[in-house]
């Protein structure tokens, strides 16, 4: 199955905002509202950060926000903090493969 396309890496300074994109197709991101984002620190299990495109689970900082336009979803982190340094993955339901993840983005806080 083809993964959703994410940049391999992004970086930013503390306090700055960053955005991670997730590009799919009409069969997944473009036609489904079940788009989610996960944070994974090294050696840890993934953590759900955003579901249904832009909703935050209880306990997730409001510095994290999600959006979607056409076939591209985005995760924005405002006011970067050192603990945000991690890998981030998007995921979407798909009409062809049921569920697909993005390739992952490594966020570095400078």
The least distance separating other proteins from the CB of residue 23, rounded to whole angstroms, comes to 15
What's phi and psi for 85, nearest 5 deg? -65, 120
Pick between residue 82 and residue 98 the one whose CB is nearest to other proteins: 98
Name 12's bridge partners. Answer: 109
Q: Which residues bind other proteins (CB under 8 A)?
A: 1, 3, 34, 36, 38, 40, 45-48, 51-52, 57, 87, 89, 91, 93, 97-104
Please, what sign has the CA dihedral across residues 2, 94, 39, 74? positive
What is the chain's Cα-based Rg?
Answer: 13
Token pair, residue 86, equals 């991690």
The least distance separating other proteins from the CB of residue 14, rounded to whole angstroms, comes to 26
The least distance separating other proteins from the CB of residue 13, rounded to whole angstroms, comes to 26
Pick between residue 24 and residue 102 the one whose CB is nearest to other proteins: 102
Pick between residue 13 and residue 42 the one whose CB is nearest to other proteins: 42
**Residue pair 93/31 in contact by the 8 Å Cβ criterion:** no
């Amino acid at each position: 199955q083809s993964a959703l396309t994410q940049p391999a890496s992004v970086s930013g300074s503390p306090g700055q905002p960053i955005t991670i994109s997730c590009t799919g197709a009409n069969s997944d991101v473009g036609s489904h509202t079940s788009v989610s984002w996960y944070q994974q620190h090294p050696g840890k299990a993934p953590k759900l950060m955003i579901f249904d495109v832009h909703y935050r689970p209880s306990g997730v900082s409001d510095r994290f926000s999600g959006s979607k336009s056409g076939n591209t979803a985005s995760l924005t982190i405002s006011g970067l903090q050192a603990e945000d340094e991690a890998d981030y993955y998007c995921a979407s339901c798909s009409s062809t493969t049921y569920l697909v993840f993005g390739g992952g983005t490594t966020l570095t806080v400078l």
